[in-house]
Amino acid sequence: MDHMRNVNGSPWCLTSHDDILMPIGRRRPFLGRLLPAVFVTGLLISTSASFPASGLYEVREIKPGIFVWIPEDVLDQDGDPEFSRAGNAAFVITNDGVVVVDSTNSPFHAREVLYEIRRRTDAPVRYVINTSSDGERMLGNEAFADLKASIISTSRAKAEMQRYRQQITHRLEGDDWRLRSRMRGFHIVLPEQTFDSQMTLKVGGQEFRLLADLLKPGSPQSDAVVFLPSQKIVFMGELFENGFFPRLGERNLQRWTDTLRKVASWDAEIYVPGHGAPGGKKELGEFRAYLDWLSTETQRRVKEGQTLAQVKKELQPAEIFHYRAPELAPENVEAAYRQFSSQLPTMSSAATSH
């Protein structure tokens, strides 16, 4: 039977059994948690074993000592519903400790990542790098803050996380009991170390270049990438999605595609996305092609004076690009429309109506 306990006196922070990392809403049936189990002559024989609580992810070693935690495309029933898809996380094991890139969308999944780290090493987790302020990148921070890891992001990302923490507190004070139930056990842990443009870490002989001035050089940015030049690996965060629709949000489409072209010219072989399997320059180019298509098709219709409703009706990205997270496709069309219509100040108010 699950039990609940208060954490740090917070009235909405409750946790489940420490030995069951899977959130209540997504736990597998009782017999499924006792795997491996075998029927022999009509008897169910089960053995206890150490295994992930969910089994809904894989861990891929892309270079010696460098691992990517890749979740299945499952919508979580816990946590903030705005970030219900777990994002990729990665960890690099060096002879002087572990560096984690992104902590995924909940402390439950972050503990799954930690479980996989501990299967491979007892070395301390030195750093956790949040590549952006999006919930898929940072809502698991608390699992590593308990280990005294230093959490790093851009200064703008930290400011956005602070705003998010204020907003979620306000939302939890409302009448949505479902949200309070989903957010039990969550604490929004902010980075204590920030940078604006570039930062270099050297851990156990491994160089980590944190770069945040790619989308708009000279101004603080939320998004950052992590480049391991000796390994020819780039952790792209939300700037690259492999087989998934991205969150466009406030990101400038033209700068985004320019950034992808720039990153593709680097001496790199593996690009780790925010969601989906690691890819190479081919997959990076395919994702850029989607952004180019969205930019070209939306901008043309805006110049023609089409309304948002007309553009959303004509542009159906999910019918052309068979990506996962299709619910984000119309949101991207709307964000692109507003981005380009804002560049046409003489456009009539009728053309921007719904």
67-123 pLDDT, tens digit each? 999 999 999 999 999 999 999 999 999 999 999 999 999 999 999 999 999 999 999
CB 160 within 8 A of CB 127: no
Confidence band for 220, pLDDT divided at 50, 70 and 90: low
**Which pairs from 349-353 meet CB under 8 Å and 24+ separation?**
350/307, 351/305, 351/306, 351/307, 352/307, 352/308, 353/307, 353/308, 353/309
Q: What is the DSSP letter of 82?
A: G
d(Cα 281, Cα 270) in Å, to the nearest integer?
A: 8
Whole-model pTM? Answer: 0.82
d(Cα 198, Cα 213) in Å, to the nearest integer?
A: 7
Maximum pairwise Cα distance, the chain: 79
d(Cα 316, Cα 186) in Å, to the nearest integer?
A: 36
d(Cα 72, Cα 69) in Å, to the nearest integer?
A: 10
Interhelix angle 253-264/281-303, rounded to 10 degrees, is 160
d(Cα 273, Cα 246) in Å, to the nearest integer?
A: 10
Cα dihedral sign, 158-152-208-200: positive
Residue 168 sits at φ, ψ, to 5 deg, of: -70, -35
Domains of the chain: 55-297 (3.60.15.10)
132-172 pLDDT, tens digit each? 999 999 999 999 998 999 999 999 999 999 999 999 999 99
Nearest to 69 by CA among 19, 137, 158: 137
